[in-house]
């Protein structure tokens, strides 16, 4: 399985007000696919490999001349409920605004974007991998332990039902 890439020059993309929209399959995102397989403990074959990830990337330049990318991701993927270990659909609807900046890798963490949570800073890059960005955002947005909102139909944990292995010793002390 090869990792597909969709490379864009993010500054040129935003300067031209370009727009890309499309769909990715789970196979296009190998790290996400691996995460889905490792999370589905009871039956890995239940993963819906036909799940589509729809995305729209819009570039623009604001009134101050700043380069901005707006990314929307919509999908429904199947993961495993950590309570009952059965398949569980996970609906994803994400929106991101990126401010493209001429900063080095070490400065990306240190740059303050006007103390605002409205934009994430994205390094200017002539070969930004859009598929990797989409995959990263989905992975970071996923819950650590996904669970059904309502009570699960079948619980697999059995707490307190194991016999105490030291019960025999307790009988020896009394005699």
pLDDT tens over the chain, length 175 residues: 345 678 999 999 999 999 999 999 888 998 988 887 666 544 544 545 557 899 999 999 988 889 999 999 999 888 888 888 888 888 999 999 999 988 665 555 555 544 456 889 999 999 999 999 999 999 999 988 888 887 776 544 455 566 677 776 776 776 5
Position 148 scores a pLDDT of: 84
Tokens of 113: 């974007």
SS3 85: coil
Contact 130, 19 (CB under 8 A): no
Position 39 scores a pLDDT of: 60
Position 41 scores a pLDDT of: 47
Position 105 scores a pLDDT of: 54
Position 115 scores a pLDDT of: 47
Position 104 scores a pLDDT of: 61
Per domain, the residue ranges of the chain are 7-174
Beta-carbon contacts of residue 23 (< 8 Å; ≥ 6 apart): 52, 53, 54, 55
pTM for the full model? 0.72
Which stretches within 57-145 are classed as H helix? 130-141
């Amino acid at each position: 399985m090869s990792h597909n890439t969709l490379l864009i020059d993010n500054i040129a993309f935003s300067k031209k007000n370009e727009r890309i929209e499309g769909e990715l399959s789970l196979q296009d995102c190998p790290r996400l696919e691996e995460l889905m397989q490792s999370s589905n403990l009871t039956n890995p074959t239940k993963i819906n490999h036909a799940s589509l990830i729809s995305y729209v990337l819009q570039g623009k330049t604001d009134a101050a001349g700043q380069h901005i990318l707006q990314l929307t991701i919509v999908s429904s993927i199947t993961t495993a409920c950590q309570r009952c270990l059965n398949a569980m659909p996970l609906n994803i609807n994400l929106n991101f605004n990126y401010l493209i900046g001429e900063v080095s890798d070490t400065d990306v963490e240190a740059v303050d974007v006007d103390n605002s949570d409205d934009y994430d800073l994205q390094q200017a890059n002539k070969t930004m991998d859009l598929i990797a960005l989409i995959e990263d955002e989905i992975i970071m947005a996923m819950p650590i332990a996904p669970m059904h909102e309502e009570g699960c139909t079948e619980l697999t944990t059995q707490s307190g039902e194991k016999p105490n292995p030291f019960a025999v010793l307790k009988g020896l002390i009394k005699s």
